[in-house]
Amino acid sequence: MTAPTAQPPDLRAEIKALIEQEGLSQRLIARESGIGDAVLNQWLANKYPGDNATVVSKLERWRDAYQRRRVARASLADIPGYLPTPTGEKIQTALSYAQLAGDIALIYGAAGLGKTRAAERYAALNPNVWLATLSPATASVSTALGDICLALGLRELPQGSARLYQAAIHRVKDTAGLLILDEAQHLSVNALDQVRSLHDATGIGIALIGNETVYARLTGGSRAAYLDRLHSRVGKRLALTRPLKGDVEALAAAWSLTGNAELTLLRDIARQSGALRLINKTLRLATVFAAGGPLTLDPIKLAWADLTGNA
């Protein structure tokens, strides 16, 4: 076994300072630098008996990259949190109705209109609201029920769709709660029918949030008749086709933009696919082009050109 080798104390002191002063964990540093947790722990204590030169090399590269990221983050503005936009308030009203009435709400439309943010906000403000975000990997009955059970706070999940279904029923029945299924367009026809069954068995509110596909699946195609029993149970439909004027103005105000030229450009951006999300991405990038200066029309134009590949 190789005896520990003395290393320059400056790097070790730097790493310790980052852990103590910036709240970084040893596990995070080990993962990002590509060395093991135990190796980092021993090296920090100057007790690592292995190849210290390799450890130092990896940590030096990590430190340099971390410092570059820190400088870049300093010039990158944070995207505003939830904003009470007209569209966001409509979404929250639909969610409130579904919970109070124990009904099913269908909220669908274009991307980038703040559907997910509004759902997260509603869940944060109201008791017995569970938000499950679905994906193509959770399209089937069993995987969808698994994600639902996790959103309900169940950690020891039973095996099989039937038992998952019973566990979900037991968790939500008599809670006057609301189950929000975001990205619901990923649910298969069978999974959507299972959601309908969960509503029938418990009487809780359910909100299906997604793009136009989820609405089309309920109303058209060869399997539409199979979902008639779900479609007929929808008590609230909210179609979101484009951002409202007030949505853009609220977002501009959150970024402290009031000029007519800036607002005009933001309205043009909002007409593109991605809408409000695209505005946030543009303005965040614009803060980099502004280099610490005010967020005016010129850096916003540069950011928009960069995002669209026209720079």
pLDDT in tens, 190-235: 999 899 999 999 999 999 999 988 887 776 554 555 667 777 788 8
Q: Distance between CA 6 and CA 196 in Å, rounded?
A: 66
pLDDT band at 100 (very low <50, low <70, confident <90, very high): very high
The model's confidence at residue 115, banded by pLDDT at 50, 70 and 90, is: very high
Give tens-digit pLDDT for 138-187. Answer: 889 999 999 999 999 998 888 999 999 999 999 999 999 999 999 999 99
Q: How far apart are CA 269 and CA 225, in angstroms?
A: 39
Q: What is the largest CA-CA distance in the chain?
A: 75
β-sheet with 104-109: strand ranges across: 129-133, 178-182, 205-210, 104-109, 234-240
Task: Provide the mean pLDDT of the chain.
Answer: 88
Backbone angles phi, psi at 220, to 5 degrees: -145, 175
User: What would be the CATH architecture of the domain defined by 86-240?
Assistant: 3-Layer(aba) Sandwich (3.40)
The pTM score is: 0.77
Per DSSP, helices labelled H in the chain are 9-21, 26-33, 37-44, 52-74, 86-101, 115-125, 141-151, 161-172, 189-202, 212-219, 228-231, 245-254, 260-270, 275-290, 297-307
Task: With beta carbons less than 8 A apart as the criterion, state whether 183 and 133 touch.
Answer: yes
Res. 70 pLDDT band, cuts 50 70 90 = confident
Distance between CA atoms of 168 and 179, rounded to whole angstroms?
11
Q: Which residue has the tokens 């983050």?
A: 73
3-state secondary structure of 56: helix
Is the four-CA dihedral 243, 245, 251, 257 of positive or negative sign? positive
pLDDT at 3 over 60: no
Q: Looking at the domain covering 9-74, what would its CATH class be?
A: mainly alpha
